[in-house]
Structure 1
Amino acid sequence: MRPRPVPTVPELAPYQDEPRQAPAGRAAKTGMLDLRFEDRGTRSVLSHVYREAPLLVQQALYWDEAVPGLPCVYIVSTSGCVLQGDRLHVDIEMGPGAMAHVTTQSATKVHAMDANFAAQLQTVSLAGNSYLELMPAMTIPHRRSRFYVRTDITIAPSATLLFSEIVMPGRKHHGGEMFEYDLYSATVTAARPGGGALFTEKLLVEPPRRSVRSTGVMRGFDVLANVVLLTPRKHWESVLDRIASGRSGRSVVAGASRLPHDAGLVYKVLGPESAPVRAHVRDFWSVVRDVVLGKPVPPMPLWG
């Protein structure tokens, strides 16, 4: 596994200066994580791990009683946060028929920056009949932070990927720090193994340049969830039939849309706090599990 260059995108042009501390992308600033899951009959296993600090994975856990053969893996940051100049690389490969649930040990906290930016580049590859839940905890961009995320997906037509992102406005309850970061840029691309492109979606938020509170953006909402479901048509049509869209109560708005090329669905949620947004994502996850696997999601932990 080798580090990949960050794509040249216009929004990163103002942030090319080097930190006064360790230069961008040097030792301890380039985290790498390479995971491969394989089907071993009675259960799937984490068959390969390569890691370089500050990214870490220890071992797969089998705590999901409804799907006892499902390995659950936590991505850990040994630095505890994302810092200026960090270049993080995550590669996940699902072998034929393999299953996995991958998440993070806590929220991704992107600290304040006075130079450069931080980037996380992810590649996800799913072979035939594989199933992956890639559901990290929320991202919290602190004041003056710049974070670029790109996720490139290659997925077989018979495979299923549930990928979620939850983005906070900042440290909302830390002096009312709301949308005071410099840049949050997130791109998701998907293609078939033969190279046929499915879709590209890009979220670009630059609060100092454009108001996040305008109509058609966040307006009065604070928290955004973006969930991508890539799965065969028979599955996503069933999920779409069971998902309610529109306003939920007085505080949350949610809706699902079809992705191009019959690839699946994108589901978006806006809310005032993380708890109701996470609850809607969990409801969507529950429907996906039931439709694709015929199994329930695990019970909500006491600390959830």
Structure 2
Amino acid sequence: MLPVPGITAASSEKGQRVSQLRAVFEKRERGSMITSKYHTAPIKIAKAFPLGGPIGVIVMDVSPGLLAGDRYELQWKAGEGAHAYITNQSFTKIHPAHEDCGGSAMIQSFELEAGAIVESMPEPTMLYRDAVFTMKTDVHLAEGSVWMGAEVLCPGRALRGELFAYRSYRSKLNVYYKEELIYAQHQMIEPMRQRLTARGCFAEMTHTGVFYVFSDRLQSVHAEAVRAVLSELPPFEEHPIEWGVSVTYKHGIAVMAASTAAWPLQEALSIAWGTVRELLLGMPPIALRK
């Protein structure tokens, strides 16, 4: 995890521009802290701040967003008992890709040692017209560790008529507990080839969101509590919201939702996150304004 002197952003064999960010969190007497970090432009940790035991970090992208050919690789490691909250400064913007280009990608890995906690709650992802984007996340859990993660996906700049004008979006999530694969999700959206407005697909919805929590500390009561709070969601002006809560095969809860705007999904998933945070961790919701 330590940086190698002289390394800069590199190009892959397929011509991709690779940018890397690596960080290690460890628990200390006064709380968790970053003990090692490394980055190559245009991404970096812009700010780290204490949260009364946990440590919070904000990831900055100093570029306009992911351009065609960009590949971001982020590696997060939480030592025994460490607790980190990870977010970013603004929407992740995915720019157009030419037909002869492989698009852009973000590859993330989370390694949690015993009792570690990581909360990954980034801002929404915005897919511009003709964007091609791959998102891959691997999570490795140890005994007693907790990983929470969320994503809100926007199908384009709606005010510019970009709804589902992107070329493709691929998302993969693999979660391992003690080397056992306990969850695998793979989503592929190609708006020009799929009937996204069909019943049973997106229908009239345009924006989607997911919230996950994985831990061997989870019980059925946690899923029931999330269902209960979401069933009392207030109306979000003219934006309807549909949601569902599922218990995964092992050690997990998945919350999936859809709406016609990003902000109702952010509100709903924040409520689910806060509920799990209070019941599972005994901590209040994070109220952070960037």
Partner of 1:47: 35
- TM-score, scaled relative to structure 1: 0.84
Deviations 1:10-52 (A, max 9, x none): xxxxxxxxxxxxx732xxx211001110000220001110101
- Structure 2 equivalent of residue 144 of structure 1: 130
* In structure 1, C-alpha distance between the alignment counterparts of 2:260 and 2:163, rounded to whole Å: 12
- Check if 1:126 corresponds to 2:106: no
* Unmatched tracts of structure 1, length 5 or more: 3-22
- Work out whether 1:79 is the aligned partner of 2:67: no
How far has the Cα of 1:143 moved from its partner? Answer: 0.4
Match of residue 225 from structure 2: 242
**Is 1:90 the equivalent of 2:79?**
no
SS of corresponding position for 2:60: strand
**In the alignment, what sits opposite 2:253?**
265
1:84 Cα deviation from its structure 2 partner: 0.4
Contact 1:163 1:227 in 2 (8 A): yes
| 1: CA distance, partners of 2:62 / 2:225 | 40
Q: Is the 8 A contact 1:24 1:116 kept in 2?
A: no
- Structure 1 segment 1-304 matched on structure 2, within 5 A: 24-25=15-16, 29-62=17-50, 64=51, 68-114=52-98, 115-173=101-159, 175-193=160-178, 195-233=179-217, 235-244=218-227, 249=235, 251-261=240-250, 263-299=251-287, 301=289
The 10-residue stretch of structure 1 (211-220 or 36-45) with the greater mean CA deviation from structure 2: 211-220
1:239 aligned counterpart, secondary structure: helix
Q: Matches of 1:61 and 1:202 in 2, distance apart?
A: 34
For residue 129 of structure 1, give the secondary structure of its aligned residue in structure 2: coil
In the aligned structure 2, how far is the partner of 1:92 from the partner of 1:300?
A: 21
Counterpart Cα distance in 1 of 2:79 and 2:140: 12
1:160 Cα deviation after fit: 0.6
Partners of 1:171 and 1:260 lie apart in 2 by 36
Partners of 1:85 and 1:257 lie apart in 2 by: 36
Determine the structure 2 residue equivalent to 1:5: none
- % identity of equivalent residues: 23
CA–CA separation in structure 2 for the residues paired with 1:270 and 1:143: 21
CA distance in 2, matches of 1:141, 1:236: 36
Q: Which amino acid aligns with 2:247?
A: R
Tell whether the 8 Å contact from 2:85 to 2:121 is kept in structure 1 after alignment: yes
The DSSP-based 3-state class of the residue aligned with 1:162 is strand
Distance (Å, rounded) in 2 between the aligned partners of 1:240 and 1:157: 20
Q: Distance in 2 between matches of 1:232 and 1:291?
A: 14
Aligned counterparts of 1:58 and 1:178: Cα–Cα separation in 2: 31
Aligned residues: 272
Please say if residues 226 and 268 of structure 1, whose CA atoms lie closer than 8 Å, have aligned partners that are also in contact.
yes
Q: Which residue number corresponds to residue 10 of structure 2? A: none
1:172 Cα deviation from its structure 2 partner: 1.0
Query: Of Structure 1 and Structure 2, which has the larger fraction of its residues in strand?
Result: 2
The answer (yes or no) to whether the contact 1:247–1:254 under 8 Å persists in 2 is no
**Which runs of structure 1 show a deviation greater than 3 angstroms over 4 or more consecutive aligned residues?**
245-250
Q: Where does the alignment leave 5 or more consecutive residues of structure 2 unmatched?
A: 3-13
The root-mean-square deviation of aligned C-alpha atoms, in Å, is 2.0
Partner letter of residue 15 of structure 2? Answer: A
Instruction: After superposing the two structures, state which structure 1 stretch, 35-44 or 291-300, moved more.
Output: 291-300
Q: What is the Cα deviation at residue 246 of structure 1?
A: 6.4
Q: How high is the TM-score relative to the length of structure 2?
A: 0.88
> In structure 2, how many angstroms separate the alpha carbons of the residues matched to 1:171 and 1:177?
5
Secondary structure of residue in 2 paired with 1:215? coil
